A = this chain, B = another copy of it.
Amino acid sequence: MNKANRIYKEIQQITLAVDCIIFGFNDYKLELLLIHRGFQPERGKWSLIGGFVQNNEDLDEAANRILFNLSGLENIYLEQVKTFGKSNRDPFERVVSTTYSAMILKSDYNEDKVEEYDAKWFPIDQVPELIFDHREMVNSAINRLRRRIRSTPIAFYLLPQKFTLPQLQALYEVILNEDIDKRNFRKKIAQMKFLVKLNEKDMSESRKGAYLYRFDKILYEKDKYFNL
């Protein structure tokens, strides 16, 4: 920033906000958490969870705070996606909003909060009409997620610490919106040493039971080869 330009600052009237695209995986569907607007304007529509950035708060902290207020969860995995800055994107005032993508484990999530905030999970192929440019925000978050799950181990934030390969594969299938060959998928998993097979089965989803696996962060740090 050039000091000569600081002249503009005096008159700047722009509010900075954060909006969160919250992903969850449940019942073999990828879902988004949205809140319902019970007031005018845009009454009846749904929106992302958002809030304004406070003066002494990092942008990332603001996203964390907003998520904590809503969910009671701390240290949620967050990634900045994109900043939306069209001057008329919010018709009521000038708000520039930075979006963050969050991965949460639905089972950790405090369901009381859902009530309190009039929030609801929607499968991503059944997202209702959203206010302002929130639909565009959702789209860019999904596109980013699709790109990133192929090369980084972020899908594990959407699963319990111990998960089965059928679960993991189903998660990839719904995110990528395509069928994946079971054997090819497992071949790749086997190459990634940081995906550790446990001597323990999950018997809840089939008669035979499926082995549980665990993502080992330390092993991953040593050899970050990730390719799915």
Contact = CB atoms under 8 A, between A and B. Distances in A.
A-side interface size class = 35 or more
Nearest to A5: B51
Interface in A1-52: 1-3, 5-6, 8-9, 11-17, 19, 35, 37, 39, 47-52
Interface stretch (A92-100, A153-161, A162-170, A198-206): A92-100
A82 interface: yes
Taken together, the copies of this chain in the complex come to 2
Contact of A52 (B6, B52, B117): B6
Interface stretch (A54-62, A105-113, A189-197, A211-219): A54-62
Interface string A79-97: 0101111110010011111
B55 A1 contact: no
Contact of A80 (B39, B53, B83, B117): B83
Contacts of A50: 1-2, 5
